[in-house]
Amino acid sequence: MNYYMIAESVWEGLVKDNISFMIKSIDRSKRLVITSETVSDTLNQFPRIDELSEYTFTNHTNWVGDGTGITLEEIELNEYISEIDD
């Protein structure tokens, strides 16, 4: 799997069936995604899932806004379902 932060404009070009996790930034300008797809136009790439999680804790104001972050368990349990994407 690949772990990325992408701009909102890159999102539309991704194959949604390849995505296992996605969260939008609070300002809705960026997304963190886990996908089997290789994406070249990224804002950041994380080598491992735990580094993606750690990033949300150190940058919580962009992602959760409550002084916490997104735990590994939350990432693994929250499967991306394209039908409910807004």
- pLDDT, position 38: 97
Backbone angles phi, psi at 5, to 5 degrees: -115, 125
List, for the chain, all residue ranges whose pLDDT scores fall below the cut of 50. none
- pLDDT, position 83: 62
- pLDDT, position 65: 85
- pLDDT, position 78: 84
Q: Where are the domains of the chain?
A: 2-81
C-alpha distances out from residue 29 to 7, 12, 26, Å: 6, 13, 8
DSSP secondary structure of 28-77: SSEEEEEESS--SS-SEEESSHHHHHHHHHHTHHHHTSSS----HHHHHH
Q: What sign has the CA pseudo-torsion 86, 33, 83, 11?
A: positive
Q: What is the pLDDT of residues 52-70, one digit of tens each?
A: 999 999 999 999 888 899 9
